[in-house]
Structure 1
Amino acid sequence: MLSIGAKQPLINEEIHEKQVRVIGPNNDQLGIMSSQDALKKAEEEDLDLVLIAPQGNPPVCRIMDYGKYRFEQAKKEKEARKNQKQSELKEINMFLNIDVNDFNRKVAQANKFLQNGDKVKIKIRFKRARELSHIHLGEDLMKRFMNATAEYGAADKPSVLEGKNFSAVIIPKVSASAKKSSPKTDGGSKKDAKQENRPAEAEGE
């Protein structure tokens, strides 16, 4: 499929290749011919000749309504960006002496965040300085939490001690799609010229 990016493909009279392989508007193979003959075929269909594979041997052109194609692609990508959920970083806090019910509640909360595509920062708080001498207890609790959320997420990096907090970030196993660059939607095709007058952060306590 032709990709509309920042660099637009050559179309119509911009194409100066001696010979090109031509694909018709219905994906039919029209064979190899001069770019002039290919352009004539496009004009006969009241369509555009678009150079889609300049590195081909010979280069490949497609006959299409380029203006309509650009418009439809821009519309699809705009809709995709509109529906794309922005990932947030949620935070869940626990203490070493957390009870089973509270632990399970926080696991359920984290799993819900992960299913929604959000990252979750887990903080295990050491209330007193003497608790810091039992870092292994924090590590064990973190491992339990990671195992309980393993179906929906995984640790972004190893857990770290930040002051009196033992923390880690869990990322969703299915991440959101990367943003696509927005295509230009200005004119340029023959059809364009003929139709230009047509019309938060959640925190567990």
Structure 2
Amino acid sequence: MKTPRARGRFRVPEEPYKINERITAREVRLVGDNVEPGVFEIGKARAMAEAQSLDLVEIAPTATPPVCKIVDYSKFKYEQKKKQKEIKAKAQKVVIKEIRFGPNTDDHDFDFKLKHAMNFLKEGSKVKAYVHFVGRTIVFKERGVDLLNRFSDALSEYGKVEMEPKLEGKRMTIILAPLPPKK
């Protein structure tokens, strides 16, 4: 009986920061809470970190000389991950709601879809409205442009046009973004 072979080798993720002996610069600028700021030779900086039982971490490798901090590396990594999570949580997620029309959409259907679009824009979502041309209805392109322009004009107090009506294949599309809240 054959034993399954490992498909790939496990790779250890590379550390994002250089620490202690991995720092190659001759001189470094030290910053931090428990150290006097200044430019020191790498040996002296490592000795200062070792004396405090902490790590020397290179936080700005592109600076001249590179900027280092004396901290507990595992705690430093944890705080960096925490900051990244906070930034990600604060980032706004853009939601795009789609509304479909035909080139011969009736007034009642238009009004019904217009109300939905108003609600979407009030919520803060973007609205992508499109006219789908089926078969020979592609000859009525001007009807599609008129319909989408009428749609954007009716929603002018709730949102602004982000992308003018544009024909892509059998779809003519317009995108509306919500207006910023009034103060």
TM-score clears 0.5:
yes
Cα distance in 2 for partners of 1:84, 1:172 equals 17
Q: Residue 8 of structure 1 aligns with which residue?
A: 16
State how 1:16-95 maps to structure 2 within 5 Å: 16-25=24-33, 30-78=37-85, 90-95=97-102
State how 1:115-126 maps to structure 2 within 5 Å: 120-124=127-131
Normalised by the size of structure 2, how large is the TM-score? 0.63
- Unaligned runs of 5+ residues in structure 1 are 175-205
Q: Which has the higher contact order (CA 8 A, sep 6+)?
A: 1
Query: Structure 1 residues 91 and 24, CA, compared in 2 at 3 Å: closer, same or farther?
Result: closer
* Corresponding position: 1:136 with 2:142: yes
Helix, strand or coil: the match of 2:37? strand
State how 1:88-107 maps to structure 2 within 5 Å: 90-95=97-102, 96-99=104-107, 102-107=109-114
The alignment-based identity, stated in percent, is 34
Helix, strand or coil: the match of 1:159? strand
CA contact under 8 A between 1:92 and 1:121: conserved in structure 2?
yes
Query: Structure 1 residues 171 and 44, CA, compared in 2 at 3 Å: closer, same or farther?
Result: farther
* Corresponding position: 1:170 with 2:175: yes
* Corresponding position: 1:145 with 2:151: yes
CA contact under 8 A between 1:146 and 1:155: conserved in structure 2?
no
Residues paired across the two proteins, number: 165
- Unaligned runs of 5+ residues in structure 2 are 1-12
Greater radius of gyration (CA): 2
Normalised by the size of structure 1, how large is the TM-score? 0.58
Cα distance in 2 for partners of 1:41, 1:160 equals 66
